[in-house]
Amino acid sequence: MLSYIFHPEGNSRWPVIILYMDAPAIREELFDFCRRIAGGGYYVILPDMYYRHGKIRYIHESFSDLTEERREDMFAKMNSLNNKMVMEDTAGMLKFLESEPAAKPGPKGCVGYCMSGQYVVSAAGTFPDVFAAAVSVYGAKTVTEEADSPHLLAGKIKGELYLAFAEVDRFVPDSDAVGLRAALDREGVINKMDIWPGTEHGFCFPQRPLYVEDAAEKVWSNTMALFKRKLQPQDRM
C-alpha cells in the first residue's frame, strides 16, 4: 500500500497520526494537510486507499479537474472499499509503524474526511488500545443498517472523538450525526460534536468552491487541540 509520511526534521520520535483520505484520492491538498499536522510535532502517515486499483489520481491542479466521468469513476472506487478492508490496511500500517524510527510508540490519533469518517470511527473501535484521539470531518456512513456499521463499535471505543459536520450535506443525512452521537453518549465515549452553520459538504478543503475558511480553521483548532491533549500530555505541565 503506497503511503506518504510526514514528520518534523531531527532524530526525535513523534506521536503518530493516520490521515484517511476523502473520495477524490491523493493530491497536493492532502499533502498540505499532512504537513500542517506534522508541523505541530507529529508523524503523519497518509495511505493511498485506492492502491488495489493502481495509482489513481483524480485532481492535479484544482478541484475543477474532476469531470463528470472522473467523478463517476471516483464514486466507484470509493464504493469498492469497506470497513473490513480498511481495518486490515490499518493493521498493516500499525505493524509497519513498529519499526519506524521516527514514529513514537504509544497512543495514536487518526483523522478522516468524507468517505473516511466511517473508517475513523471503525479504527477507534477496532483498535481501542491504539487510538486515543479520532477526528471525523463530515464523515459519511458512520451510522448504517449494515452489520459492520461503525456506530455499533461505540462500546469498544476508549479514545476521545471530535466530530465536525456541515449544516447542509447531501452526502451525510442529519440522522447520521444524531445516531452517532446517541451511540457514543450511550456508551460513555468522550466526544465533541460541531455542526457548523452556513457550511456544506467539503467546507474544510481550500480547493473546493464550498470552502468556508472561518469554520475550517475552527475545525483545525479543535482537531489539533484534541491531538495535543491526548497524544502530547506532557505539554500540559
pLDDT at position 233, please? 75
pLDDT 10s digits, 66-125: 888 989 999 999 999 999 999 999 999 999 999 999 999 999 999 999 999 999 999 999
Cell numbers at 49, concatenated: 486507499
Residue 31 has pLDDT above 50, yes or no: yes
| Domains, in order of start, for the chain | 3-232 (3.40.50.1820)
Among the ranges given (68-72, 166-170, 215-219), the one the predictor scored with the smallest mean pLDDT: 68-72
Nearest of 99, 120, 127 to residue 43 by alpha carbon: 99
Sign of CA dihedral 183, 186, 188, 194: positive
pLDDT at position 183, please? 97
SS3 label, residue 53: helix
Say how many Å lie between the first and final Cα of the chain, rounded. Answer: 39
- The model's confidence at residue 179, banded by pLDDT at 50, 70 and 90, is very high
pLDDT at position 176, please? 93
- The model's confidence at residue 170, banded by pLDDT at 50, 70 and 90, is very high
Distance CA 72, CA 226 (A): 35
Give yes or no for a contact between 133 and 159, defined as CB atoms under 8 angstroms apart: yes
Distance CA 208, CA 52 (A): 27
Give yes or no for a contact between 159 and 230, defined as CB atoms under 8 angstroms apart: yes
Give yes or no for a contact between 134 and 111, defined as CB atoms under 8 angstroms apart: yes
- The model's confidence at residue 207, banded by pLDDT at 50, 70 and 90, is confident
- The model's confidence at residue 237, banded by pLDDT at 50, 70 and 90, is very low
pLDDT at position 65, please? 78
Residue 41 has pLDDT above 80, yes or no: yes
CB atoms within 10 A of CB 148: 13
Neighbouring residues of 176: CB distance < 8 A, sequence distance ≥ 6: 139, 140, 141, 142, 143
Residue 236 has pLDDT above 50, yes or no: no
- The model's confidence at residue 59, banded by pLDDT at 50, 70 and 90, is confident
Q: What does pTM read for this prediction?
A: 0.95
